Amino acid sequence: MTAGQGQTGRSLPRPNARRLLQGKGRFVADKVLPRMLHAAFVRSPYAHASILGIDLTTARAAPGVVAAWDGAAIAAHVTPFVGVLTHMTGMKSPPQPALAVGTSHWQGEPVAMVVARTRALAEDAAALVEVDYDPLPPVCDVEAALAPDAPLIHPALGTNLCWERRIDAGDVDAAFTLAAHVVERQFVFGRHTGVTLEPRVCIYDYDASEERLTLHYSGQVPHMMQAVLARHLGLPEAQVRVIAEDVGGSFGIKIHTYGDEIATAVAARLLQRPVQFLADRYESFLSDIHARDHRVTARAAMGPDGRLTAVEIDDITGIGPYSVYPRSSAIEGNQVLNLTGAPYVIPAWRGRLRVVFQTKVPTCQYRGVGHPIAMTVMEGLMDDLAAASGRDPADLRAINLIPDDAYPVTSPQGVLFTDLSHQACLTRLKDLMDYDGLRAEQAALRKRGIHRGIGLCSMVEITNPSPMFYGVGGAPIAAQDGATVRLDASGSIQIGSSVTEQGQGTETVLAQIAADVMGVDPARIGVTTGDTATVPYGGGTWASRGAGIGGEAMRAAAEALKAQVLAVAGAVLQVDPSALNLAGGAVVDRAGQARITLQALAQMVYYRGNELPPGLAPELIATRHFRVEGMPFVFSNGAMASYVEVDAETGFIRLLGHWVVEDVGTILNPMLVDEQIRGGVVQGIGAALFEECLYSDDGQLLTVTLADYLVPMAGEMPDIAIAHVVTPTRTSALGAKGAGEAGTTGAPAAVMNAVNDALRPLGAKVSQMPMTPERILRALGTVP
């Protein structure tokens, strides 16, 4: 690596946060384009219904209305999408129209749209659209959906099963027969959703004179959206521009293809005017993807020495009526299969996954994607085994965690791990939280009738994925990212990247990396992200890859620009470039003396090229791309603990403390890494304790406002202590792994184990999330 200038590794505050603090954000809903119209959607009130007719006459005549279309009219201008990845053999999902045509498959599915001068007028007119529905039987429960006589959601598929996968490795049956201890448990994970504070929003602007479509985008993946729009609207990709400026939270929610947004694109194209769609909160709950909704039956076997001998799981998950395009909705269950037990040495492993269609909101990738389920299941089994064998939960983990010197390791599921540090993280965690002291405090308080619990979680997180995630399955999703670094005549540096910013601090970290290589103050670096017209082609932000992949591309691009600068300097100064370096905004010699400033050098190249030797290219710009090679994924790992108090009278849970030790490899900006972890932990706590998309038996969503759907607020959250173990990944020179989903991955398991640790002396156990007071009281037998 280059001689560092000390910018990476430093807790540099984010320069781009200043304007957000002044109320000067540039969110999509803040933009007003000339002649812009607003869309509102008519959504199915039934979970499942035939659409016999749609009458738009009255709506079209309403004040301010410019146009109204039903699903069939929109479908004439956009091809349907199919959310299937070809490498997931046997996966099925039918073509999905932008708006429902003929049949609606979930309550909230858009069936018609109205475009008017204002959103209020569009909503007024949408209420005048008359839809004649004939209700069909809802298919809500996943087990019932697979029954032989179940109504088929998509008769053409002949089944409600989207995908099934089995893994069988080692002699599982023998391990269970011979085990000293066997534990078994059924876990239920409710549906929840991302609840980005800024709802989904888009503005589509179609310029007929140039046949050019521009999307003002609130999301994470501009190039994917460019490809999706071009494919399905029949436009050349070069005629589609996607611009993402400020994004008010995304977390995976805004990474998918939504029919209402695609219909907005169609409307803009047909009307040749900009059209905005801004979901209100009610629509968000009914149309943003949901996540989780898994039932997992799991068992584990252990020998007399405390070592795991086998694990078996059976996961059934409901994904709504369509696999979501283009990432597919089978990934979450696949992660549960791939990652349950990942931190441990497990000789024999068996699992089955069934991904099932149902008439609820579609589910897809949301922060953590399957990880919280895999960790909760395995960590729950570990605590059950500890209780069954009378061992301390931390000791039992230490016996079974993969030794830190054992890598590379391939799991029974076939997943390759390397550069991990489970043992070191657990040791550091016990120290950070004063594990022994807390156990003593817990025991003392139990004698006074105070029920406190300590919960642990050892975990892995998939980060920095290779093309093996999506690209291999035919999705237009890049696993590589690119970076451009440019030295301008003023001596300032301009950088651009295909990874995107939603507040994580991506732009800041990229500037730190470039600053180190170029030897300049990060304040002299301008950053561009999020615009397909100006940044290199790449995957964007997902799967905790921005810093690891985008950062490595930035490092390589900056190194290439540095080589150009030193070549020019060497020629001008008559010095071997290898004797020169960059520091303090200048080219310096071995003694560290400045020989020529970057500004002077750049001005010579750009203004007075005649002073340069013949043949030296007048360019001070470099672009490099990076993808992970040799491994499908780069894993990070960590250990977490939660300390809670359960009120056995009310079922209320108080969070007293939360500790995280995380190994994200090289840490580029400690403050930003820790804030990713903290925010993720609190989302995980939301899943564990509060958040649930509750449905009635006939498929009506009961939680459609923030008054019904509980999210974590400041009053209930604990302070979160964080420490690090640093094992750089060998897949990049930078050595950075991802950090974005670690908190959400581990927190639910830690909290559930803590709650059950508190309940254990009372003979109660809870295995369903969220762990509401009612469910605690039911576990205690207080309520039936």
Partner 1 sequence: MKIAMTLNGETIEAEVEPRQSLVDFLRGLGLTGTHSGCEHGVCGACSVRVGGQVVRGCLMLAVQADGLTVDTVEGLSQSGEIADLQAAFHRLNALQCGFCTAGMLLTAQDILATNPVPSRADIREHLSGNYCRCTGYQAIVDAVAEVAVERSGG
- As measured in angstroms, the least distance from the Cβ of 675 to partner 1 is 5
Query: In the sheet that 634-646 helps form, which strands lie side by side, from edge to edge?
Result: 451-463, 634-646, 653-663, 720-724
Q: Does 707 bind partner 1 (CB under 8 A)?
A: yes
Judge contact between 718 and 657, C-beta under 8 A.
Answer: yes
- As measured in angstroms, the least distance from the Cβ of 157 to partner 1 is 36
Among residues 664, 712, 672, which one has the least CA distance to residue 688?
712
- Whether the bond between 770 and the residue before it is cis, its omega within 30 degrees of 0, is yes
Q: Does 678 bind partner 1 (CB under 8 A)?
A: yes
Within 10 Å of residue 151's Cβ, how many Cβ atoms? Answer: 15
- Which residues pair with residue 769 across a beta bridge? 189
Q: Does 33 bind partner 1 (CB under 8 A)?
A: no
Query: Which span (231-239, 246-254, 310-318, 601-609) binds partner 1, by CB under 8 A?
Result: 246-254
Within 10 Å of residue 524's Cβ, how many Cβ atoms? Answer: 18
Give residues 50-89 in contact with partner 1 (rule: CB under 8 A).
none
- As measured in angstroms, the least distance from the Cβ of 743 to partner 1 is 8
CB-nearer residue toward partner 1: 24 or 87: 24
- As measured in angstroms, the least distance from the Cβ of 511 to partner 1 is 15
Report which DSSP code applies to 325: T
Query: Which span (10-18, 377-385, 480-488, 727-735) binds partner 1, by CB under 8 A?
Result: 10-18
- As measured in angstroms, the least distance from the Cβ of 353 to partner 1 is 29
Cα distances from 661 to residues 109, 377, 390, 422, in angstroms, run 42, 20, 26, 10
CB-nearer residue toward partner 1: 665 or 743: 743
CB-nearer residue toward partner 1: 91 or 747: 747
**Which class for 733: exposed (0-12), middle (13-18), buried (19 or more C-beta within 10 A)?**
middle
- As measured in angstroms, the least distance from the Cβ of 112 to partner 1 is 22
Residue type, 258: Y
Residue type, 246: D
Structure tokens at 756: 């059950």
Q: Does 198 bind partner 1 (CB under 8 A)?
A: yes
What string marks each residue from 680 to 699 as x (binds partner 1 by CB under 8 A) or -?
A: xxxx----------------
CB-nearer residue toward partner 1: 29 or 406: 29
Judge contact between 732 and 748, C-beta under 8 A.
Answer: no
Of 88, 388, 671, 726, which lies in the binding site for partner 1, with binding defined by CB under 8 A? 671
Give residues 137-176 in contact with partner 1 (rule: CB under 8 A).
none
CB-nearer residue toward partner 1: 563 or 706: 706
Query: Which span (339-347, 520-528, 542-550, 709-717) binds partner 1, by CB under 8 A?
Result: 709-717
Judge contact between 166 and 286, C-beta under 8 A.
Answer: no
- As measured in angstroms, the least distance from the Cβ of 12 to partner 1 is 10
Among residues 634, 611, 610, which one has the least CA distance to residue 551?
634
Among residues 108, 104, 43, which one has the least CA distance to residue 285?
108
Judge contact between 652 and 640, C-beta under 8 A.
Answer: no
- As measured in angstroms, the least distance from the Cβ of 525 to partner 1 is 18
Query: Which span (12-20, 319-327, 379-387, 584-592) binds partner 1, by CB under 8 A?
Result: 12-20
- As measured in angstroms, the least distance from the Cβ of 689 to partner 1 is 14
Of 2, 9, 10, 25, which lies in the binding site for partner 1, with binding defined by CB under 8 A? 25
Structure tokens at 701: 């969503």
**Backbone phi and psi for residue 162, each to the nearest 5 degrees, phi listed first:** -80, -45
- Whether the bond between 347 and the residue before it is cis, its omega within 30 degrees of 0, is no
Q: Does 544 bind partner 1 (CB under 8 A)?
A: no
CB-nearer residue toward partner 1: 63 or 403: 63
Of 219, 318, 380, 505, which lies in the binding site for partner 1, with binding defined by CB under 8 A? 505
Within 10 Å of residue 459's Cβ, how many Cβ atoms? Answer: 30
What string marks each residue from 202 to 241 as x (binds partner 1 by CB under 8 A) or -?
A: ----------------------------------------
- What lies within 8 Å, CB to CB, of 661 at 6+ separation is 425, 426, 428, 429, 432, 638, 639, 640, 722, 723, 724, 725
Among residues 96, 107, 221, 78, which one has the least CA distance to residue 162?
96
Structure tokens at 149: 């006589």
In angstroms, the CA 719 to CA 691 distance is 20
In angstroms, the CA 208 to CA 231 distance is 18
> Angle, to 10 degrees, between the axis of helix 773-780 and the axis of helix 742-759?
40
**Which class for 742: exposed (0-12), middle (13-18), buried (19 or more C-beta within 10 A)?**
buried
What string marks each residue from 279 to 298 as x (binds partner 1 by CB under 8 A) or -?
A: -xx-----------------
Number of residues that bind partner 1 (CB under 8 A): 54
Judge contact between 500 and 224, C-beta under 8 A.
Answer: no
Judge contact between 536 and 482, C-beta under 8 A.
Answer: yes
Query: Which span (13-21, 163-171, 417-425, 563-571) binds partner 1, by CB under 8 A?
Result: 13-21
Of 9, 10, 29, 271, which lies in the binding site for partner 1, with binding defined by CB under 8 A? 29
Q: Does 715 bind partner 1 (CB under 8 A)?
A: yes
Q: Does 719 bind partner 1 (CB under 8 A)?
A: yes
What string marks each residue from 95 to 134 as x (binds partner 1 by CB under 8 A) or -?
A: -------------------------x--------------
Query: Which span (292-300, 459-467, 496-504, 750-758) binds partner 1, by CB under 8 A?
Result: 496-504
What string marks each residue from 726 to 765 as x (binds partner 1 by CB under 8 A) or -?
A: -----------------x----------------------
Q: Does 34 bind partner 1 (CB under 8 A)?
A: no
Among residues 133, 151, 172, which one has the least CA distance to residue 44?
133
Q: Does 368 bind partner 1 (CB under 8 A)?
A: no
Residue with token string 């179940």: 150
Of 57, 86, 410, 705, which lies in the binding site for partner 1, with binding defined by CB under 8 A? 705
Report which DSSP code applies to 665: B
Q: Does 672 bind partner 1 (CB under 8 A)?
A: yes
CB-nearer residue toward partner 1: 80 or 249: 249
User: What are the b/e assignments for 670-705, b being 16+ CB within 10 Å?
Assistant: eebbbbbbbbbbbbbbbbbbbbbbebeeebbbebbe
Rg of the chain in Å (alpha carbons): 27
In angstroms, the CA 566 to CA 620 distance is 10
CB-nearer residue toward partner 1: 27 or 537: 27
CB-nearer residue toward partner 1: 480 or 744: 744
- As measured in angstroms, the least distance from the Cβ of 334 to partner 1 is 26
Q: Does 713 bind partner 1 (CB under 8 A)?
A: yes
- As measured in angstroms, the least distance from the Cβ of 63 to partner 1 is 12
Of 176, 187, 251, 258, which lies in the binding site for partner 1, with binding defined by CB under 8 A? 251
- As measured in angstroms, the least distance from the Cβ of 503 to partner 1 is 3
- As measured in angstroms, the least distance from the Cβ of 673 to partner 1 is 11
- As measured in angstroms, the least distance from the Cβ of 21 to partner 1 is 4
Summarize as ranges the residues that interact with partner 1 (CB under 8 A): 13-14, 17-18, 20-25, 27, 29-30, 120, 194-199, 246-251, 280-281, 502-505, 671-672, 675, 678-683, 705-707, 711-717, 719-720, 743
